[in-house]
């Protein structure tokens, strides 16, 4: 059996210009008793979108952890526009708006076809494993620079 290094394992989604697109299917476990997506699950979809955005751009969380660096969400603003429902096929679209000091700002949207379901403005901070803020490593800045809008 060929062992695939964890940093090169398959990624989810693809890039369209400077935007990462992640498909998400809504399963029964994602919904409340009415078949509508539970509001807290949107945070999971957005988290997956940001994680795979970084992975597709060559930034692996495991490699950052090896450097004792991680991310924490400092602020998130969600706007629910339409309910997502069981069996929906959604697309999570993620862009990075800027990096300033330890902070990274992302814009995210979830679509069902052409219909906007939910938006998020996310401010994340790069931190050392001791919890203190840290400027992102130069390799992260270099990977993100061409994608910052």
The residues spanned by each domain of the chain are 17-147
Edge-to-edge strands of the sheet including 103-112?
Answer: 14-16, 19-25, 89-100, 103-112, 115-128, 69-80
Q: What CATH class is the domain 17-147?
A: alpha beta
**Residue 56: in which H helix or E strand, if any?**
helix 41-56
Tokens at residue 12, please?
């989810």
Neighbours of 119 (CB within 10 A): 17
Per-residue pLDDT of 68-100, as tens digits, reads 899 999 999 999 999 999 999 999 999 999 999
The per-residue b/e assignment along 32-51, b for 16 or more CB within 10 angstroms, e otherwise, is: eeeeebeeebbeebbbbbbb
pTM: 0.90
Per-residue pLDDT of 9-55, as tens digits, reads 555 899 999 999 999 999 999 999 999 999 999 999 999 999 999 99
First to last CA, the chain: 42
Q: pLDDT band at 8, cuts 50/70/90? A: low
Q: Which position has the higher pLDDT, 60 or 49?
A: 49
Judge whether residue 1 has pLDDT over 50: no
Which residues face 77 on adjacent strands? 121
Per-residue pLDDT of 88-138, as tens digits, reads 999 999 999 999 999 999 999 999 999 999 999 999 999 999 989 999 999
Residues taking part in catalysis: 32
């Amino acid at each position: 059996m060929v062992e695939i290094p964890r940093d090169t394992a398959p990624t989810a989604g693809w890039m369209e210009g400077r935007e990462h697109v992640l498909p998400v299917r809504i399963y029964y476990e994602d919904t409340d008793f009415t078949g509508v997506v539970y509001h807290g699950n949107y945070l999971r979809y957005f988290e997956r979108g940001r994680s795979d955005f970084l992975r597709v751009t060559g930034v692996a969380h495991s490699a950052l952890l090896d450097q004792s660096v991680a991310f924490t969400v400092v602020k998130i603003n969600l706007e629910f526009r339409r309910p997502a429902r069981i069996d929906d096929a959604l697309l999570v679209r993620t862009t990075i708006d800027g990096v300033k000091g330890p902070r990274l700002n992302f814009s995210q949207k979830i679509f069902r076809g052409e219909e906007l379901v939910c938006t998020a403005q996310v401010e994340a901070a790069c931190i050392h494993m001791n919890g203190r803020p840290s400027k992102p490593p130069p390799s992260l800045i270099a990977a993100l620079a061409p994608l910052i809008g």
